[in-house]
Amino acid sequence: MKLKELIQGIHYLKIQGEDREISHLSYDSRNIKEGSLFFAIKGKKFDGNQFVDEVVEKGAAGVVSALPPAREDIAWLQVVDVREAMAGIAASFFNHPSRDLKVVGVTGTNGKTTVVQLVASITGGGFISTVENFYGKKERSRLTTPESIDIQWMLSQAKKAGLQHVSIEASSHGLYFHRLDNVDFDVAVFTNLSGDHLDFHLTMDRYFQAKAKLFQMVEGPEKWAIINNDDPYGKKLLEMVTCGTLTYGMDRESSIYPEKFLITIDGIEADIYSPLGTFKITSPLTGRFNLYNIMAAIGAAIVLGIDRERIVEGIKKFKGVKGRIERLKHRDIVVIIDYAHSDDSLKKLLESVRELIKGRIIVVFGAGGDRDKSKRPRMGKVAGKLADLVIITSDNPRSEDPLKIIAEIEAGVREETSLYMKIPDRKKAIEKAVSLAKPGDAVVIAGKGHEDYQILGDRVIHFSDHEVVEEIFRRRK
């Protein structure tokens, strides 16, 4: 496809050079091929403009940059925002695949991954999520919301594989950085909103506005928004949307609500009222927050036109997302591994576990370095209030001192309890927690979930909470 054909509808400041044939798109100088169009993105660590000479030598046909042309021997498109231009060009390059698919976007602080994969289980469709992607084949995920080139390529592969539906996690960063621009969403789902990523967004209002961008992409009578009616930001969204809406929540004010439900450590049984009548569902998922996730998925499936039997069966067969309230049992001791890494997600997790067990809750958690520092004492306060024993440990400290992060969490824990320990070595912290657990107790390991690595300074080492627990249980056998 010729460059000038690709950039139709793209706002640009200047174009230089001949109209070259573009056979490949890339934002990574290491992946340049003959005929590539290179997007020189200026990021936090690297500036793509520094690699222009390298990509020209490798055979790039053109460069898209926010800077004026640096060379005369290559096609050059100068734009205001490289990522915004990249989203439009990528959609054109892959022939707008989302127009031929039914696409569901899911945003919110918590629950996105579970809702995305639940919808896929119901529809038999593809998904793009934090843990893994499926677009005809499965692959491990690197970002919650990938860059626009990757998203458009995956959508094109889903279309080629004959899939009819794709559900996508829409993170606030992904929406802010235009990664989801030019995706033709049919349904937008809002799960909830609580304090997270404030190191980037700075205020809750700006965080909310980033999430709300998804709902500006579903305008019109043929589009739908599925909104958590029990969340104050959900009520705020309801006043903004210009499409069809279904709400879900715990009472009859919502379009979808549970008439009755039973949540145990082994799963959920519920009669859920909806505009299509009452769904009798059983699910191996557990926890009150997963009841919300199930209702969100039911709402999305209803507006997609999925029949009742497929909805019920899709919920029943979905075993959950790795690292999301994942349960391991040994001799009446339950270990729960979860990705909860904000104060609100930790609160919801511990409240749910409290409803499920009779014994004590021993919680092990830390907080990521080089990320939102404001949530650390809040997480500590939640743990101190809701758990019987708190063990503060290391998460992904990155470039920060782990002991400093632990001290910031400790400040919040101390406001609620003196029953806590500090064990910086995460493996030793988990071993200590399990050794203290008695029959009927639950050990909750929060923060990393599905991750099988730890980031220590500039090193990435293999580490899996799941593997550590399994090793402990093997030794006990």
- Residue pLDDT, tens place only, 453-477: 999 998 999 999 999 999 999 998 7
Is the pLDDT assigned to residue 103 strictly greater than 60? yes
| Res 233: pLDDT | 92
Residue that is last in its domain, among 295, 317, 339: 317
Is the pLDDT assigned to residue 351 strictly greater than 90? yes
Q: Looking at the structure, tell me whether residues 342 and 285 fall in a common domain.
A: no
Q: What are phi and psi of 424, to 5 degrees?
A: -60, -35
Is the pLDDT assigned to residue 231 strictly greater than 60? yes
| Token pair recorded at residue 133 | 């992607």
| Res 121: pLDDT | 98
Confidence of residue 67 (pLDDT cuts 50, 70, 90): very high
Please tell me the pTM assigned to this model. 0.88
| Res 200: pLDDT | 63
Contact predicate 366/392, CB 8 Å? yes
Q: Looking at the structure, tell me whether residues 208 and 173 fall in a common domain.
A: yes
Residue that is last in its domain, among 287, 317, 347: 317
Higher model confidence: residue 201 or residue 454?
454
Residue that is last in its domain, among 93, 125, 156: 93
pLDDT digits (tens, 9 = 90+) for 233-278: 999 999 999 999 999 999 999 999 999 999 999 999 999 999 999 9
Percent of the chain with pLDDT over 90: 87
Q: Compute how many other C-beta atoms are within 10 angstroms of the C-beta atom of residue 117.
A: 26
Confidence of residue 426 (pLDDT cuts 50, 70, 90): very high
Question: How many CA atoms within 13 Å lie on the side-chain side of 157?
Answer: 16
Q: Looking at the structure, tell me whether residues 153 and 199 fall in a common domain.
A: yes
Q: Looking at the structure, tell me whether residues 84 and 191 fall in a common domain.
A: no
| Res 373: pLDDT | 93
Confidence of residue 205 (pLDDT cuts 50, 70, 90): confident
Which CATH number does the domain housing residue 64 bear?
3.40.1390.10
Lowest mean pLDDT among 60-64, 226-230, 277-281, 449-453: 449-453
Q: Looking at the structure, tell me whether residues 277 and 331 fall in a common domain.
A: no
| Res 354: pLDDT | 95
Confidence of residue 192 (pLDDT cuts 50, 70, 90): very high
Q: Looking at the structure, tell me whether residues 291 and 304 fall in a common domain.
A: yes
Lowest mean pLDDT among 12-16, 196-200, 364-368: 196-200
Q: Mean pLDDT over all residues of the chain?
A: 94
| Res 384: pLDDT | 98
| Res 380: pLDDT | 98
Number of domains in the chain: 3
| Res 198: pLDDT | 59
Q: What is the distance of C-alpha 423 from the center of its chain?
A: 29
Q: Looking at the structure, tell me whether residues 85 and 198 fall in a common domain.
A: no
Q: Compute how many other C-beta atoms are within 10 angstroms of the C-beta atom of residue 254.
A: 21
**At what angle are helices 288-303 and 343-356 packed, to 10 degrees?**
110
Instruction: Locate all alpha helices (DSSP H) within 44-94, ordered by sequence.
Output: 52-57, 82-93
Closest Cα to residue 151, out of 172, 174, 173, 131? 174
Domain with 403 in it = 326-476
The angle subtended at Cα 169 by Cα 312 and Cα 452, nearest 5°, is 95
| Token pair recorded at residue 220 | 């019109």
Q: Looking at the structure, tell me whether residues 125 and 54 fall in a common domain.
A: no
| Res 224: pLDDT | 98
Q: Looking at the structure, tell me whether residues 44 and 102 fall in a common domain.
A: no
Confidence of residue 331 (pLDDT cuts 50, 70, 90): confident
Is the pLDDT assigned to residue 397 strictly greater than 90? yes
Is the pLDDT assigned to residue 51 strictly greater than 70? yes
CA dist., res. 380 & res. 413, Å (int): 4
Q: Looking at the structure, tell me whether residues 7 and 27 fall in a common domain.
A: yes
Q: Looking at the structure, tell me whether residues 391 and 445 fall in a common domain.
A: yes
CA dist., res. 287 & res. 352, Å (int): 5
Q: Looking at the structure, tell me whether residues 292 and 196 fall in a common domain.
A: yes
pLDDT digits (tens, 9 = 90+) for 141-173: 877 789 999 999 999 999 999 999 999 999 988
Q: Please compute the mean of the pLDDT values over residues 19-26 and round it to a whole number.
A: 96
Is the pLDDT assigned to residue 199 strictly greater than 70? no
Is the pLDDT assigned to residue 195 strictly greater than 60? no
